[in-house]
Amino acid sequence: MASYLRFENVTRRFGSFTAVNQVTLDIEKGETFSLLGPSGCGKTTLLRMLAGFDKPDEGRVLLDGKDITDLPPDQRPVNTVFQSYALFPHLSVRDNIAFGPKIAKWAPDTIKRGVDEMLELVDLKAHADKKPSQLSGGQKQRVAIARALVNKPKVLLLDEPLAALDLKLRQRLLVELDAIHDEVGITFIYVTHDQGEAMSISDRIAVMNKGVIEQVGPPVQIYEAPRSSFVAAFIGDTNFLDGKITESIDSRFSRCEVKGFGSIVIDNDKPVTPGDRIHLSLRPEKLVVSREKPKVSEVDNAVAGKVEDVIYYGSHTRYWVRCGEWRLCAEMQHRQYQLDESPPKWGDEVWLRWHANDGFLLEQY
Ligand code: ATP
């Protein structure tokens, strides 16, 4: 079955530079879908081609069974919320929301009903007669969201909508956005370079890098099973280890020699054979730091090292541990320690333990 929204082989060049390179992407009706990637990777360019502010050099954009590639922005059932809010400063909250419907010549009572419904949705009824300058940043962004939803678009585009807000407000607005999405049920496309935002709000995420899509999937899959080193490093923090497969233990586990570090057991997330060179991602929170040598099973790993750095974050502590040629980051929740056990300190000799399937096998080379 055809998807609700489809970018089909979309390419956009600026001179000799290719900002978006042959992107094909299928998005389902009602999804909250994020485009995530570093600055300059092409997310806004992709969004602009969906909104109609820009056109692909090659490829098509299809929405609800219609080719919209060449439609002007005002004829697309797509609205955008920008980071800068783009509100009219001289108009009240109510009139900002009513602006589009007035231009579209809705009947006055339909406008009133639509605006009231939106004020309710974004919880701004008490502020309806204020001007934008009398509102907080979060409230302004809620006006912008109400204004973009009043004419019931099929797709709402959110281009870094929270980037101008402080952390606490961003977290609150993310929860509110999620509730608004549940209420209106339309497709949300969210553009951000903040992996935390994308992880918390999305049904699925497309991770972009240099104009191409590296991986598409639900947040848990992107985090737990990154398809490339780029994705593993961009989504959260990770340690990378390079090694060479020395022995196949069974269909699931192999032994791997890591230079300057020794032999470890890995889970064969991908088929490997002795002699293969592999690249492994090991998330800091998967590593357990202890002073005592841990008891390990055949499919656990324990490596000795020395604490080189410790950073206390309140809810958890990060340790940077030197193990031969490698410096590994481990993250420990405080409750992981027994009450009578003092956590390791700078300079301590420690052990790092992890289970074979805590690592994730990336590229072979
Ligand atoms: P950011 O998070 O910084 O907004 P982005 O991922 O949204 O980044 P885009 O704005 O899509 O990135 O830009 C992708 C690349 O295309 C960038 O290198 C940018 O400089 C280039 N680019 C975008 N628009 C134009 C333009 N009109 N002319 C020339 N180059 C452009």
Domain-terminating residue out of 234, 264, 291? 234
Helices (H), 185-280: 195-201, 219-224, 229-234
CA end-to-end span of the chain, whole Å? 37
- 109-144 CB burial, b ≥16 within 10 A, e <16: eebeebbeebbebbebeebeeebbeebeebbbbbbb
* Cα(56)–Cα(54) distance, integer angstroms: 7
Whether 172 and 119 share a structural domain: yes
Measure 157 CA to ligand 1 centroid, in angstroms: 17
Mutate to test the pocket of ligand 1, among 12, 13, 44, 234 (most ligand atoms within 8 A of CB): 44
**Is the pLDDT reported for residue 337 higher than 70?**
no
Domain-terminating residue out of 234, 263, 282? 234
Whether 188 and 256 share a structural domain: no
Measure 211 CA to ligand 1 centroid, in angstroms: 10
User: What is the pLDDT at residue 106?
Assistant: 94
Whether 21 and 170 share a structural domain: yes
Whether 188 and 73 share a structural domain: yes
Number of domains making up the chain: 2
Helices (H), the chain: 43-51, 93-103, 108-121, 137-149, 167-184, 195-201, 219-224, 229-234
Could you report the per-residue pLDDT of 150-180, keeping only the tens digit for each? 999 999 999 998 888 888 888 888 999 999 9
Could you report the per-residue pLDDT of 92-117, keeping only the tens digit for each? 999 999 999 999 899 999 999 999 99
pTM: 0.89
Question: Using a 6 Å cutoff on CB, does residue 42 contact ligand 1?
Answer: yes
Which atom of ligand 1 lies at the shortest distance from residue 42's CA? 11
Whether 177 and 202 share a structural domain: yes
Whether 43 and 127 share a structural domain: yes
